[in-house]
Amino acid sequence: MKVKHPANGFRVNLSSSQPAVTNGNAVLRESDAQGGDDPEDSAKLREATRRLYAQLKEMETRHAEEKGRLQAESREFGVRLARQTEQLQTVEKLSEERGQQVEELQRLLGSMAIESRKLQDQMAAGEEELLQLKADKEEREEDEQRCEELNKEVAVLKEKIHHLDDMLKCQQRKVRHMIEQLQNSRTVIQERDRSIRDLEERVFLLEGENREMHAHLQYFRECQESTEEKPEVVYSKTLTPTTQTNKALPVIKIIEVKSEPSLDQWNDQLENTV
């Protein structure tokens, strides 16, 4: 606190931040008594405010452009994601159908293998019976006729076995081809899953950048609004004498102005924000 002694001999206690008495009727700030510093600081402050406002407008324009670009990218990623999902569903459906076909072919191969073993057993039995008939040369004509029938049956069975072997080999090739296609389909599904995860991560990053840009824009708007507000409190106070006197006492008018940040503080704040 500083103690000021007016001309009337009464002491007035004023804060160091309060202006000094100049004419006995008003209290001004010390910066007002120093001459042309306030106009220069005000001009600098207005210049900083204009620069901040210009940067705010530029940031708003950039934010609008960036927002449009991000929204376009988000829509594009959404379309790509839908397309990838549809393709993935198609591949999964095709893979399921191929799996069912493979299972059906495997069941068919099992049935054919069982039938082939039965035919081989029948052929072995026929050959054994044929050898037995050949050994008995003195058998009746019925045995010779049976031998001819068995020879024919053996020839037919051999032809069937050969045909079944060809079919088995063909079906095995088909099964191997179907298994390869199924493995390729699973590989495609895994690649689609990775692509979908990459797209989802990109969308998440774009949304985070959009929120961060919105926060910066809100901060600049709040700074602009704070520079336009200067609350002032004005009140008067009559001095009370400590002794009896007929002399008229002055009325002190006190003006309190909310302190504003200096030009250096504005520049530091602008640099930190950018």
Domains (range + CATH), the chain: 1-34+231-274 (no CATH), 36-229 (1.10.287.950)
Give whole-number Cα distances, 115 to 54, 150, 160, in Å: 89, 20, 10
CB 243 within 8 A of CB 1: no
At 10-25, the pLDDT tens digits run 444 443 434 433 333 3
Mean of per-residue pLDDT scores for the chain:
73
- Contact predicate 270/48, CB 8 Å: yes
Measured at the alpha carbon of residue 242, what is the angle toward residues 1 and 246, in degrees to the nearest 5?
Answer: 125
Cα separation values, 264 from 44, 111, 225, 268, 271, Å: 10, 92, 19, 6, 10
pLDDT tens figures, 101-122 = 888 888 888 888 898 888 889 8
User: How far is it, in rounded angstroms, from Cα 260 to Cα 133?
Assistant: 126
pLDDT tens digits, 109-159 = 888 889 888 888 988 888 888 887 777 766 666 767 777 888 888 888 888
Place of tokens 């824009």: 217
Per-residue exposure over 181-211, b if at least 16 CB sit within 10 Å of its own CB, e if not: ebeebeebeeebeeeeeebeeebeebeeebe
What is the DSSP secondary structure assignment for residue 9, as one 8-state letter?
A: S
pLDDT tens digit at each of 274 positions of the chain: 444 444 444 444 443 434 433 333 333 343 443 444 578 888 889 899 999 999 999 999 988 898 888 888 888 888 988 898 898 899 888 888 888 888 888 888 888 889 888 888 988 888 888 887 777 766 666 767 777 888 888 888 888 888 888 888 888 888 888 888 888 888 888 888 898 898 888 888 888 888 888 888 888 888 777 765 544 444 444 545 555 555 554 444 444 444 444 445 545 554 554 4
User: What is the value of pTM for the model shown?
Assistant: 0.37
**SS3 state at 22:** coil
Q: Give every CB contact of residue 175 below 8 A, 6+ residues apart in sequence.
A: 102, 105, 106, 109
